[in-house]
Amino acid sequence: MLKLTAGDRALLAVIYALLAALGFAAFYPFWNAAVISFNEGIDTVKGGVTFWPREFTLANYRIVFEDARLVNAFLISILRTAVGTFCGMLATAIFAYGMTRRELIGRKYYMVFCIVTMYFSGGLIPSFLLIRELGMFNSFWVMVVPGLISVWDMIIFRTFFLGLPPGLEESAKVDGSSNWGVLFRIVLPLSGPVIATLSLFTAVYHWNDWFTPSIYISNADLLPIQTKLQQILNSNIMSEQMSQLNSAAQGRLNKMRTVTTKSLSMATMMVATLPILCVYPFVQKYFVKGVLVGSLKE
Amino acid sequence: MALTDIRKARQDGELKPSGPTRFLRQWDIQLMVLPGLIFLLVFSYIPMYGVLMAFQDYSLFKGFFGSPWVGFKHFEMFFGAPEFWTVIRNTVVISMLKLLIGFPAPILLALMLNEIRGRVFKRTIQTISYLPHFLSWVIVSGLVASLLSTENGSLNMLLQRLDLIGEPINFLSLPEYFWSILVVTDVWKEIGFSSIVYLAAIAGVDPHLHEAAAVDGASRLRQMFSITLPAILPVIVVFLILAIGNLLNAGFENILLLASNPVLRDVSDVLDTYVYRIGIQNSRYSYATAAGLFKALISVGLLVAANQLARRSGNSLW
């Protein structure tokens, strides 16, 4: 490697400084919110809580976890993410495998049929009215079914399947496996990486999606945590919520009187983000791969 | 003709099985794709056809097939509406700001990350900067509200500490700050994640080019802009075309969540939020569909135009 000139060194110093600033800016908002969620609400209002809690407390979290409706919303989110990701991956993988078979009659037309949907859509209102006509308002399944098959994911699956050695399938066929048998016993077990990548993105979508339930679901017991959180943040329902808490929590609240709307929303936000933070470090290598697979297709 | 006869005839090379027979014989593979196709028919094609309700006076009671056709009435109403130009202005301004700032930002980040030799530092910055992409817009809007709050909002505290302001500013209720907040949050959320593709493209650049340039006395800065950047230009152009196709999206969720304060409507109303407000909240379905269709047509036009431009200048660029 050639020696760095003074100019190069100055450039590097600027780059290090800029990147460090960016890293700080990316991390601080989240860190600060976490700190506020662990700080006494009343104390936070006085200002000056930045990098570390001043009056450490778990009271905010205790109230969040004692609120049956928030816990319920959290469970709905978990259920939706699990069911939506599993069913979506299964449906998309089966579809994609069928589309890899060269003898499939109509394959070309089917492909065009799929690709058209990537460029054109009916938009918000016609889809909204369709869901209404299908009677899916206020149903858990409205969060799962309309997103079941993604053409994008289908194409990524298909590309991956086509890259598998063809000899494997043929030998399984000779041994008497049906097409479905080949898919479930040979192809899918070999597709670990692509399943992991696509599952990750699908799961993140399901966990984070607040908009679908917000327009299709009015039954508060069916709302996932993100939509619930949006309502809380949006209209300061929190103050109302505090008065509606069950009596045990209400008693505790009166005794403590240290939580505020803000400290409670921050704690709820942390709870709603926790699952993502937990899986994030483990799946980093997968999503980098996934983005590249996706962009190659583009 | 019995199946065995067909098989025999086929072996003799006399007869290819007819279409329907072949179709039935591969029912198991067809069964894999037909449910998916039916799914797309229902959830993609029916709404596409449903767009025609923009030319109707759609009513829930009469349904799609019973509602009267009214031609371009809703389009004329939309173009004549007092808020039309506000909505168009906001959409264009916000989209352009995002394109001008949000598009180059990840490229710059990738160029800078590429200069870093310390692996730990590089990985740390990458890990941190990818994270916001995985947070929902609800969480992001909550973080923004908290940072900008007048009670223990970090930005207000910092500005006060620096004696730049006396009293805390309620940023989220003042229209003049709204566009900046939108662009900053958008860049904040996506800059790291969008840089991944550019980093991968940079990794594919032939290192000999850099060595040759260094021998010729080019500084690192010069190499960044004269070697790395031109080398990844094809990737940049592809993503630029896609970004232009998405231009009018302007960040629906972001705006919807941050602009809950009606004071901001003059600067926050864009085509998507307008369609949402008029269609879903006010139930004026045909009118909202017309506005949405107008946006879709312009988007397709932009995409085609961008693609044409890229193709025309294609040879001179690379």
Tokens 């505790």 belong to: A252
The answer to whether B125 contacts A19, with C-beta atoms less than 8 Å apart, is yes
Residue that the structure tokens 């312009």 belong to: B298
Would you state the structure tokens that stand for residue B312, as one six-digit string? Answer: 């025309």
For B:59-118, CB contacts with A below 8 A are: 64, 109, 112-113, 115-116
Q: Do B139 and A269 touch (CB under 8 A)?
A: yes
Residue B51 C-alpha, separation from nearest chain A C-alpha, in angstroms: 6
Q: What chain A residue is nearest to B286 in terms of C-alpha separation?
A: A125
Which pLDDT score, from 0 to 100, does residue A30 have? 92
**Residue from B94, B86, B52 nearest B69 by CA:** B52
CA-based radius of gyration for chain B: 27
Percent of chain B residues topping a pLDDT of 90? 41
Q: Which residue of A has its CA nearest to B294?
A: A123
Q: Assess whether pLDDT exceeds 70 at residue B137.
A: yes
Count A/B contacts: CB-CB distance under 8 Å.
Answer: 257
- Which residues are A39's β-sheet partners? A56
Which run of H or E residues covers position A119?
helix A107-119
Interface list for B 225-284 with A (CB within 8 A): 238, 242, 253, 256-257, 260, 272, 275-276, 279-280
Whole-structure pTM over 0.80, yes or no?
Answer: yes
- Per the structure block, which two tokens stand in for B233? 């230009």
The chain A residue lying nearest B151, using CA atoms, is A45
Contact (CB<8Å) B48/A125? no
Closest to A124 (Cα-Cα) out of B276, B253, B270? B276
Residues of B in contact with A287 (CB under 8 A): 130
Q: What is the mean pLDDT of chain A?
A: 85
* Cβ-Cβ contacts under 8 Å, A206 against chain B: none
Q: List, as ranges, residues 125-144 from B with C-beta within 8 Å of A.
A: 125, 127-132, 134-139, 141-144
Chain A closest-CA separation from residue B228 CA (Å): 16
Give backbone dihedrals phi and psi of B171, rounded to 5 degrees, phi first: -55, -40
Percent of chain A with pLDDT strictly greater than 90:
47
Question: Which whole number is the average pLDDT over B148-166?
Answer: 86
3-class SS shares of chain B: helix, strand, coil, % to 5: 80, 0, 20
Lookup: tokens for B40? 């797309």
Single-letter code of the amino acid located at B174: L
Task: pLDDT band for A296, please (50, 70, 90 cuts).
Answer: very low
Instruction: Give the confidence band of B185 by pLDDT, cuts at 50, 70, 90.
Output: very high
Distance of CA B307 to the CA centre of its chain: 17
The candidate with the shortest Cα–Cα distance to A264, out of A295, A224, A288, A232, is A232
How far off is chain A from B57, nearest CA to CA, in Å? 14
- CA atoms lying within 13 Å on the CB side of residue B302: 19
Please report the pLDDT score of residue A250 as a whole number: 52
Please indicate whether, in this complex, the C-beta atoms of A95 and B32 are within 8 angstroms of each other: yes
CA A206 vs. chain centroid, Å, equals 5
pLDDT digits (tens, 9 = 90+) for B46-66: 999 999 999 998 988 888 888
Candidates B44, B67, B299: best to mutate against A (most CBs of A within 10 A) is: B44
Angle, helix A192-208 to helix A151-163, in steps of 10 degrees: 170
Tokens of A178: 């049906």
| Contact flag A180-B28 (C-beta cutoff 8 Å) | yes
The pLDDT-based confidence of A5 (bands split at 50, 70, 90) is: confident
Shortest CA distance to A182 belongs to which of A105, A106, A97, A104? A97
Q: CB B158: neighbour CB atoms within 10 A? A: 13
Residue A56 pairs in a beta bridge with A39
Looking at beta carbons, which residues of chain A come within 8 Å of B201? none
> Do the Cβ atoms of A123 and B293 come within 8 Å?
yes
Residue written as tokens 């990818």?
A: B130
- Looking at per-residue confidence, does A282 or A106 come out higher? A106
What phi and psi values does residue A234 have, to the nearest 5 degrees?
A: -70, -45
Phi, psi dihedral angles at A274 (to 5 degrees): -50, -50
Whether A238 and A69 have beta carbons less than 8 Å apart is answered as no
The phi, psi pair for B264, rounded to 5°, reads -85, -5
The confidence band for B312, taking pLDDT boundaries of 50, 70 and 90, is confident
Residues of A in contact with B22 (CB under 8 A): 105
The model's confidence at residue B31, banded by pLDDT at 50, 70 and 90, is very high
Query: Which residues of chain B have a CB within 8 Å of the CB of A130?
Result: 42-43, 46-47, 50
Q: How far apart are CA A227 and CA A230, in angstroms?
A: 5
Which token pair is A128?
């909204």
According to the 3-state scheme, what is the secondary structure of chain A? CCCCCHHHHHHHHHHHHHHHHHHHHHHHHHHHHHHHHCECHHHHHCCCCCCCCCCECCHHHHHHHHCHHHHHHHHHHHHHHHHHHHHHHHHHHHHHHHHHCCCCCCHHHHHHHHHHHHHCCCCHHHHHHHHHHCCCCCCHHHHCHHHCCCHHHHHHHHHHHHHCCHHHHHHHHHCCCCHHHHHHHHHHHHCHHHHHHHHHHHHHHHHHCCHHHHHHCCCHHHCCHHHHHHHHHHHCHHHHHHHHCCHHHHHHHHHHCCCCHHHHHHHHHHHHHHHHHHHHHHHHHHHHHHHHHHHHHC
Task: Measure the CA–CA gap between B32 and B43, rounded to whole angstroms.
Answer: 18
Counting beta carbons within 10 angstroms of the beta carbon of residue B185, is it exposed (0 to 12), middle (13 to 18) or buried (19 or more)?
Answer: buried
- Residue whose pair of structure tokens reads 């570390």 in the numeric block: A52
What is the mean pLDDT of the segment spanning A61-75?
91
Half-sphere exposure of A276 (CA within 13 A, CB side): 23
Residue B238 has pLDDT above 60, yes or no: yes
Summarised one tens digit per residue, pLDDT across range A216-271 is: 999 999 999 999 999 888 765 334 344 445 545 555 555 556 778 888 889 999 99
∠ at Cα A291 (A151, A213), nearest 5°? 55
Q: How far is A284 from chain B (nearest CA, A)?
A: 8
Residue A36, helix vs strand vs coil: helix
Nearest to B32 among A5, A98, A119 (CB): A98
- CA closest to B156 among chain A residues: A47
Specify the pLDDT at position A241: 41
pLDDT in tens, B75-125: 999 999 999 999 999 999 999 999 999 999 999 999 999 988 888 999 899
- Give the angle A192-A193-A198 at the CA atoms, nearest 5°: 100
Which residues of chain A neighbour B292 with C-beta distances below 8 Å? 123-125
Query: Is B23 close to A105, i.e. CB distance below 8 A?
Result: yes
Predicted pLDDT of residue B171? 87
Helices (H) and strands (E) in chain B, counts: 21, 0
